[in-house]
Structure 1
């Protein structure tokens, strides 16, 4: 693996090319991250245009997620084999071409096939971009580099649904994919013109380990995506996915621990305390960020009657908070213990979730905006120092592998979080509805005058339907609050792990190769 050091650790670039390369890899990152969420709001329009059923149109999302999750772990090997610049250009070009193919799809089969290819090409962009950013900046500026890169990773999912809704309403759902063309061209041009190729190594491909990892990750994604529609473990299909996941994961652990050759998950990463702890935090961060994003839009639209555009505007301050925090942290992360910043970030995130447990049906948009800004600040304070500290104790040649692993775990954390809060929402809705309905009788209607029961009797079923709708509304609000409480508990539970992180050294990187980008 030592032979791949130069291939996965680009040297420190000189200005102005560092600026151009930064802009280019940021554009590639934003393009990929946007596409993971921008298509969600266009699904109803796609369903009608492609002639798909309600239970099959979701494969437009699932196929992309599964393909991306399976492909991410081989990013390090491909970067070593083909070079960082070449792999970046191939990934950007492939992502743009498959995006155009998705936009031109005429039926569901074509769309799913093109989304699989898009997911494969897109899987490499985020870890490669992170590795390049760490390589072109000296170690003492890694905090600033991660702040710049983190803006794209964190802002993309927040802005994606709003941009997707605007494109769909004002143009056509196909523009959700066509928008990638100009972004991809700019990113590819900047990398092609300003970034030198890195030397290629002779790293062995661990086919057996990759097959086990692909089986485990693919089975987990299918379990999470299909679980709700198949009533979870009441269906044999879900048990099969669970069995494949557990078997693949167990054999992968044994294979990684006992193999004397290079494995798909480098053992040096799994023995690094900072990396392992960062993986746990990344999973938690993915859960809070994406689970919250999955809950808030339907809550605002269904319970408060906000239109799509208004919902996006109300949630946008969350992204503003993230950007502000990253701008601040990028300047101070080298002067302040990053563990304190991570702890502060989780504290702010916990505070925002506590505020969200106090939401009510009578509130205006102010509590949503305030809690969103605080949560955005918290995420920003976590993300930058967490990525800085995760890479502080590993060799430069392992950066791409570490970035791939962190991206994969964050993606899996988001998938698990979304499934978890969705299941809890459905379960708590039924429980809360039963509890509320048990206290309602023709002679016991809370907050109503005594004559209401008699008037309801004369109106008949219409009044009962209206009353049941209000009970459903109240029960759904309670279910959302229970989900926010669960997210708060999980966030508080992982906060103490900060003590396991080791403070990084700010000394110059002795393993950094000489500058080779003009």
Structure 2
């Protein structure tokens, strides 16, 4: 390569890494400003959960087909189209004046993000010499994590000092720069013939997971199985997963190779990676609203309180890359699960009277645990796997983290609203003239109801932290079933 080619490769790699950061940072960007968004759009609490699940579920749909789209229609064309759709989603989000319009914009962002993430990595890898590519994966993952953990702080600061809409404008000039670099420097690549893809397997798996997602998202609002929509979503989920399992067991060639399911380390690690995703974003989806809406912290402070968790997570992840090779990775997995579970246990001691210290400490401990757990699970998962299955396994492994996150957010949001109502009814039932001197004026009664609602919401949040603790404890025995990692052949 001459000097000009090296410069062009670096420019492309920087652009691809910039997109990787932008698509990950936009996922949690509204997290610290939910109160402002809800007030501006008259959005109910259960609808606020769709801000995250729409983005995640949409990206989970398009992520598996990104490589097929690039091979079929051209990498450059597909990448430019995804950038355009991402920008459109950002702009529509700033123009939204109803909850449905805003969630639709987030859905479009997620669809584009699912394509941009794997193709950005492919572009970046293509600009590197072959000998440097194996070491690039952890760096790329660290950048994704940095985007996820820095999003609330950036969004909260912008929302507090300006408004919540400008937080989406921040990405527009950066994506315009990337589009220009890609247009000028990226050489179009397209397969000689359209590659095969198991659309039936992919479609049934997606139907099952999205049906389950909609069931969890809409169930509480529609009184569960008292409405036809929930029955339809439950049937779609059950049918999709049933057809997918039958397809895997009977078809010779399908979306997921049977060899993946025969590797014990890979399957157990994937289950634990799903649980990690369940905790990773669900904690954020609970902590920021707790600080912002229940405890009354301003958006910028709410965002800043997530920074220690992010620093610990990314720092531990990077340091794990320097861990001695002779240490059994299963030890790190056990250590990571123990730290995450311990932090979630500490979260059960939160109080409405606490200051910022408990949130910072527990977040920092959990971040260390997650930062240790992620690379250790990746090492064990692929250590005994057939090398020919690694590309397919990588896609499934990362997809399970995404599905874990989207289902985790849906589950905690569902139980949060249900438990809030139950606790409100339980607390209010004790407010009788025989137990306390109740106020009689309307403003005083409204204030009392507001106090009871806050207490009920806080108790409900503690219940959801317990769910996250249980999720880690349930998968912890799987560590004992893992085989000792061996160097991959």
Give the TM-score of the pair, scaled to structure 1: 0.78
Structure 1 residue 112: deviation in Å? 6.5
Cα distance in 1 for residues equivalent to 2:422 and 2:104: 40
Whether contact under 8 Å (1:291, 1:414) holds in the other structure is yes
Indicate yes or no: 2:232 matched with 1:232: no
Cα distance in 2 for residues equivalent to 1:319 and 1:75: 28
CA separation of 1:500 and 1:26: change in aligned 2, threshold 3 A: farther
Structure 1 residue 373: deviation in Å? 0.3
Alignment of 1:51-130 (within 5 A): 64-78=55-69, 81=72, 86=76, 89-90=79-80, 93-99=83-89, 101-102=91-92, 105=95, 115-128=106-119
Structure 1 residue 488: deviation in Å? 1.1
Counterpart position of 2:329:
338
Counterpart position of 1:211:
203
Structure 1 residue 66: deviation in Å? 3.9
Structure 1 residue 272: deviation in Å? 2.8
Match of 2:474 among 468, 471, 493: 493
Higher mean C-alpha displacement, 28-37 vs 348-357: 28-37
Higher mean C-alpha displacement, 181-190 vs 407-416: 181-190
Higher mean C-alpha displacement, 294-303 vs 216-225: 216-225
CA separation of 1:251 and 1:405: change in aligned 2, threshold 3 A: same
Match of 1:258 among 242, 250, 257: 250
Alignment of 1:103-502 (within 5 A): 105=95, 115-128=106-119, 145-171=136-162, 173-184=164-175, 189=181, 203-261=195-253, 263-332=254-323, 334-394=325-385, 398-436=389-427, 456=437, 469-502=450-483
Whether contact under 8 Å (1:286, 1:417) holds in the other structure is yes
CA separation of 1:92 and 1:171: change in aligned 2, threshold 3 A: farther
CA separation of 1:256 and 1:131: change in aligned 2, threshold 3 A: farther
- Could you tell me which runs of 5 or more consecutive residues in structure 2 were left unpaired when the two chains were aligned: none
Cα distance in 2 for residues equivalent to 1:117 and 1:506: 41
Q: What is the CA deviation profile of residues 79-103 of structure 1, one whole-angstrom value per residue up to 9, with x for unaligned ones?
A: 55567x6488446634554346536
Q: What is the CA deviation profile of residues 371-414 of structure 1, one whole-angstrom value per residue up to 9, with x for unaligned ones?
A: 01001111101112222333334455644433332333222222
Q: What is the CA deviation profile of residues 224-262 of structure 1, one whole-angstrom value per residue up to 9, with x for unaligned ones?
A: 33223212222210111010011011101111221123x
Q: What is the CA deviation profile of residues 95-141 of structure 1, one whole-angstrom value per residue up to 9, with x for unaligned ones?
A: 55434653675776876666554433311233445677889698999
Whether contact under 8 Å (2:93, 2:106) holds in the other structure is no
CA separation of 1:201 and 1:285: change in aligned 2, threshold 3 A: farther
Structure 1 residue 60: deviation in Å? 6.6
Cα distance in 1 for residues equivalent to 2:487 and 2:12: 24
Whether contact under 8 Å (2:93, 2:101) holds in the other structure is no
Higher mean C-alpha displacement, 159-168 vs 54-63: 54-63
Counterpart position of 1:516:
none
Which structure ranks higher in relative contact order (CA pairs < 8 Å, sequence separation ≥ 6)?
Answer: 1
Cα distance in 2 for residues equivalent to 1:314 and 1:495: 28
Whether contact under 8 Å (2:334, 2:476) holds in the other structure is yes
Whether contact under 8 Å (1:28, 1:184) holds in the other structure is yes
Whether contact under 8 Å (2:79, 2:116) holds in the other structure is no
Whether contact under 8 Å (2:49, 2:410) holds in the other structure is no
Whether contact under 8 Å (1:131, 1:399) holds in the other structure is no
Greater C-alpha radius of gyration: 1
Cα distance in 1 for residues equivalent to 2:70 and 2:321: 27
CA separation of 1:362 and 1:168: change in aligned 2, threshold 3 A: closer
Higher mean C-alpha displacement, 485-494 vs 53-62: 53-62
Aligned residue-pair number? 481
SS in structure 2 at match of 1:176:
helix
Whether contact under 8 Å (2:217, 2:414) holds in the other structure is no
Cα distance in 1 for residues equivalent to 2:53 and 2:418: 23
Cα distance in 2 for residues equivalent to 1:197 and 1:466: 63
Q: What is the CA deviation profile of residues 345-381 of structure 1, one whole-angstrom value per residue up to 9, with x for unaligned ones?
A: 1111011111111111222111110001001111101
Cα distance in 1 for residues equivalent to 2:352 and 2:105: 42
CA separation of 1:490 and 1:149: change in aligned 2, threshold 3 A: same
- Could you tell me which runs of 5 or more consecutive residues in structure 1 were left unpaired when the two chains were aligned: 1-13, 445-452, 510-518
Give the TM-score of the pair, scaled to structure 2: 0.82
Cα distance in 1 for residues equivalent to 2:211 and 2:219: 11
Whether contact under 8 Å (1:290, 1:418) holds in the other structure is yes
Q: What is the CA deviation profile of residues 256-289 of structure 1, one whole-angstrom value per residue up to 9, with x for unaligned ones?
A: 221123x222333333323322321122112111
Higher mean C-alpha displacement, 204-213 vs 354-363: 204-213
Structure 1 residue 193: deviation in Å? 5.1
